[in-house]
Amino acid sequence: MTTSTSVAVAPGGDQPASAPRQTARRSPWLDFAARRFGGLVGTFAVLVVLSFLIVQLIPGDPAVALAGSDATTTEIELLRTRLGLDLPLWQQFLNFVTNLLQGDLGTSFQYNQPVATIIGNRLPFTAYIALVGIVVVLVVAIPLGMFIGVQTRGGRKRWLDTLFGAITGFLDSVPGYVMATIMVILFALGIGLLPLFPPAYSVRVGSAAFILPIAALVIGPICTISRVVRRETGVVLENDYIRTARGWRLSTVVLYLKYALPNLLTTTLTLSGLILSGMLGGALIIESVFALPGLGTGIIKAILDRDFPVIQGMVLVLGMIAALVNLLVDILLGLIDSRTLGAQHD
């Protein structure tokens, strides 16, 4: 994570830096695409194994656990044959993978419905609040952090620095689901403020129901990332190339937006990539507060119901979404600074 900034330390002599030269003929994007596609396939393979193992790792006999405590021996054996749990492990895995590649995620124990349909119904809710949340976080946190960083550079306006640190530090330590509760109290029940938004999702209220969940989701990450941006702004502004740009007597706007921002974004996105993909986890929990019928409430209900086909399918889908969010962050990074395309993730 942090070491990736040391990618291009140039040698002192007249020898050109060797690494970028070798790939200079080919577009770095091509290598990047090939490598990341390989990475996605790898992640998918790991997720397949992981979701397959969920049933296998259940302590004791999975068939006994799945059938429930009051099942008879015949019921257990029936279930065992139906799920193929009596087959050798490799054959079970092969069946699992074959079905998966045919787009068959199995059938829910609970609803007797294809898992793919259940996921298809729930996915839009989670994807919507997580993706809109990520965009909101970036759009708010980066200008905010940069503004504070520029204002407080070199120890100016210490009061602003302290105030900013205290407010973001406090809000940062409020978990998303507690923030959601507070949002409901303030804006849905209208205690102290107006009841502007519905407290829970229903088809009738439509898109207004998404405002409070997204707000609850983004406040914590905004605080974390704007703190990172503030600190990075301070670091970037102390760099030699900023002095060079000052030496060229450029205007403040050009200096900050053209010379500081791109360098700021590289470190910021590298550091906050994890926070952004972690927002997916936050979204899963926050759905519960607002009764949103997304993947979060879905997987939690499935775990409580021990509805394993649904759990397996959702782990697979959520894992792939997380991998795609990471990829998206890296593509953004590459657009800003092509050096990061060649960077290994270590």
Does the footprint of other proteins cover residue 140 (CB under 8 A)? no
Residues between 152 and 211 with contacts to other proteins, criterion CB under 8 A:
153-156, 169-170, 172-175, 177-178, 181-182, 184-185, 189, 191, 199-200
Nearer Cβ to other proteins, position 74 or 107? 107
Residues between 236 and 255 with contacts to other proteins, criterion CB under 8 A:
239-241, 243-251, 254
| Contacts for 76 with CB less than 8 Å, ≥ 6 apart | 61, 63, 64, 67
What is the spatial distance between Cα 305 and Cα 291, in angstroms, rounded to a whole number? 17
Does the footprint of other proteins cover residue 134 (CB under 8 A)? no
Does the footprint of other proteins cover residue 151 (CB under 8 A)? no
Residues 6, 10, 26, 194: which binds other proteins (CB under 8 A)?
10
What is the spatial distance between Cα 318 and Cα 123, in angstroms, rounded to a whole number? 9
Residues between 33 and 62 with contacts to other proteins, criterion CB under 8 A:
39, 42-43, 46, 50, 54, 57-59
Residue 143 Cβ vs other proteins, minimum distance, rounded to whole Å: 18
Nearer Cβ to other proteins, position 17 or 139? 17
Residue 44 Cβ vs other proteins, minimum distance, rounded to whole Å: 11
Residue 154 Cβ vs other proteins, minimum distance, rounded to whole Å: 3
- The residue type of 108 is S
Stretch that binds other proteins, among 66-74, 80-88, 92-100, 317-325 (CB under 8 A): 317-325
Stretch that binds other proteins, among 29-37, 69-77, 208-216, 308-316 (CB under 8 A): 308-316
Does the footprint of other proteins cover residue 71 (CB under 8 A)? no
C-beta atoms surrounding 331 within 10 Å: 16
Does the footprint of other proteins cover residue 22 (CB under 8 A)? no
Residue 51 Cβ vs other proteins, minimum distance, rounded to whole Å: 8
Three-class SS of 290-307: HCCCCHHHHHHHHHHHCC
Mask for 91-130, x = binds other proteins (CB under 8 A): ----------------------------------------
Stretch that binds other proteins, among 7-15, 71-79, 143-151, 205-213 (CB under 8 A): 7-15
DSSP line for 103-152: T---B-TTT-SBHHHHHHHHHHHHHHHHHHHHHHHHHHHHHHHHHHHHHT
What is the spatial distance between Cα 7 and Cα 333, in angstroms, rounded to a whole number? 14
Instruction: For 76-108, give one letter per residue: b (16+ CB within 10 A) or e.
Output: beebbeebebeeeeeebbeebeeebeeeebbbb
Q: What angle do CA 272, 277, 279 make, to 5 degrees?
A: 95
Mark residue 291 as left, alpha or beta (left: phi above 0; alpha: psi -120 to 50; beta: remaining): left
Nearer Cβ to other proteins, position 21 or 102? 21
